[in-house]
């Protein structure tokens, strides 16, 4: 029962825009404090000695929360996810991919979304600290910052929470 308090719950803004994912425990706290309302249950109940509470899957904040547009953080995990865990030079899927600077840092290449790609160890070694033209290589897809859409941001939760799809697809 304790583990069920930490399952993910989709948090919608007052206009039904997905803005966050929180735990069931936090969602119930928001509902009990009158800051959010239940949109979808679908997970049964949490029973205490004197009360029974629905286990929310989706909640909606009662007040509109203004916040800046989210951006995807530049991390190794996000670069691997953006490139679909595939070497961008040979197309191989490998469990031990590395991150490669398309334009090497010592030649003025930046540590940015449009200069970083995933590479298998063989391709990364082949390219080394050279430019793509020098080693006659080119990436399968041009690197760019992934969109900070709700579908991209919350996709890792969708395989176990398919009831979220109608609320995420529209944003």
Q: Give the residue extent of every domain in the chain.
A: 2-69+148-169, 76-135
pLDDT over threshold 60, residue 2: no
For residue 1, what pLDDT is reported? 47
pLDDT over threshold 90, residue 92: yes
Size of the chain, expressed as the number of residues it contains: 171
When pLDDT is cut at 50, 70 and 90, the band that residue 54 belongs to is: confident
Task: Tell the CATH topology of 76-135.
Answer: DNA Binding (I), subunit A (1.10.30)
**pLDDT tens-place string over residues 98-149:** 999 999 999 999 999 999 999 999 999 999 999 999 999 999 999 999 988 8
Please name the residues in contact with 47: beta carbons below 8 A apart, sequence gap of 6 or more: 53
pLDDT over threshold 90, residue 171: no
Residues 41-62, mean pLDDT to the nearest whole number: 88
Tell me if 155 sits within 8 A of 117, measured CB to CB: no
pLDDT over threshold 70, residue 39: yes
For residue 143, what pLDDT is reported? 96
Handedness of CA 107, 110, 114, 118 (dihedral sign): positive
**pLDDT tens-place string over residues 69-84:** 888 999 999 999 999 9
């Amino acid at each position: 029962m304790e583990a069920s308090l930490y399952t993910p719950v989709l948090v919608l803004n007052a206009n039904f825009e997905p803005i966050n994912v929180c735990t069931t425990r936090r969602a119930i706290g928001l509902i009990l404090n009158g800051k959010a309302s239940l949109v979808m249950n679908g997970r049964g109940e949490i029973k205490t000695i004197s009360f029974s509470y629905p286990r929310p899957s989706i909640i909606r904040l009662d007040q509109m929360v203004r916040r800046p547009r989210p951006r995807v953080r530049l991390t190794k995990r996000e670069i691997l996810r953006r490139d679909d865990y595939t070497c961008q030079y040979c197309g191989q899927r490998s469990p031990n991919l590395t991150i490669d600077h398309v334009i090497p840092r010592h030649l003025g290449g930046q540590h940015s979304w449009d200069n970083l790609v995933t590479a298998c160890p063989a391709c990364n070694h082949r390219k080394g600290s050279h430019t793509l033209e020098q080693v006659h290589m080119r990436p399968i897809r041009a690197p760019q910052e992934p969109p900070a859409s709700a579908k991209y941001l919350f996709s890792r939760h969708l395989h176990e929470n398919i009831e979220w799809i109608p609320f995420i697809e529209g944003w």
